[in-house]
Amino acid sequence: MHPAIPHLIELQRVDHQIALLRAELDSFPKRIVEADAKLKGARAELAAVKETQTQGIAERKKLEFEVQQWKDRARKYRDQSGAVKTNESFKALQHEIANADAEVAKAEDRQLEVMMTSEDLDRRVRLAESRLKEAEQTVAAERKEIHAQGTEKKKQLEVVLAERERIIVPVPEDLRELYARIAKRHNGTAMAEARDGQCRGCGMRVLPHILQELRTETNEEVFRCESCGLILYTLEPIPVANPAGGSMNASSAASTNH
């Protein structure tokens, strides 16, 4: 195969690693936003429950005031009833007293309902406060972990980028450009192994004479899959001449690992 192919194989391995690291780094800001959203949700929950609690306290105070008002009114009517001169006036006051007493009963019943609701709200506030405290601790730990992971991934990326610069040095400029164009069209992949007579990039058949050329040490041509356009290479053993018969047989030697 072309002498630059082993370098391109390594280049693709490193480029895939770079893409993976960059994708992880790109995910960290989103993870921080998601963590902060949990905290924001816990704060909103507590604020909503406290607002309901505040409204309940205000309503309870209003009801206390109304009860006292109706009691004062009923007492006033009772005081007046002793001084009335006519039966009609007495009956009218008794009606007002009964109405005031009924309003007192209604307000007190409502007071009881509000008090029971208030106890439930107190419990919900304590629960929301507990959830907020837990969320604050969890999110703080998550942010710390995300920042630590981000720092580590940046260091790894710097190392891999330096490795890429070293690997690409022996590759001719025209092959670099070809590799880059193909990789851009195929989500970062430019190389495909030809194995068992197939392109492992798309599964299509590779012509036998191309496979033979890929296995030839002296070949300096670059072959691309006729179907997907990826640059082909092979890791299968290169045939060597049989000293006895002069024919080409498959070598039993293990292929070089790139």
Residue 148, pLDDT score: 96
Q: From residue 111, give the alpha-carbon distance in Å to each of 48, 68, 99, 120.
A: 22, 12, 18, 14
Whether the per-residue pLDDT at 228 is higher than 50: the answer is: yes
The answer to whether residue 39 scores a pLDDT higher than 90 is yes
pLDDT over 70 at 217, yes or no? yes
Cβ proximity of 114 and 60 under 8 Å? yes
**Is 44:132 a contact under the CB 8 Å cutoff?**
no
pLDDT at 258 over 70: no
Name the band, by pLDDT with cuts 50, 70 and 90, for residue 2.
confident
Helix or strand (DSSP H, E) at 97: helix 87-168
Residue-level pLDDT at 237: 62
Contacts of 249 (CB under 8 A, 6+ apart): 239, 240, 242
pTM reported for the whole predicted model: 0.65
DSSP letter assigned to residue 233: E
**What integer pLDDT is reported at residue 167 of this predicted model?**
96
Instruction: Look at residue 242 and tell me whether its pLDDT is greater than 60.
Output: no
Predicted pLDDT at 134: 94
Give ∠ CA 144-148-154 in degrees, rounded to 5: 145
All structural domains of the chain, each given as residue ranges with its CATH number in brackets, are: 19-168 (1.10.287.1490), 173-249 (no CATH)
Give strand pairing partners of 240.
249
- For the chain, strand residue ranges (E) read 191-195, 198-199, 231-233, 240-241, 248-249
pLDDT band at 1 (very low <50, low <70, confident <90, very high): confident
- What would the mean pLDDT of 210-232 be, rounded to a whole number? 91
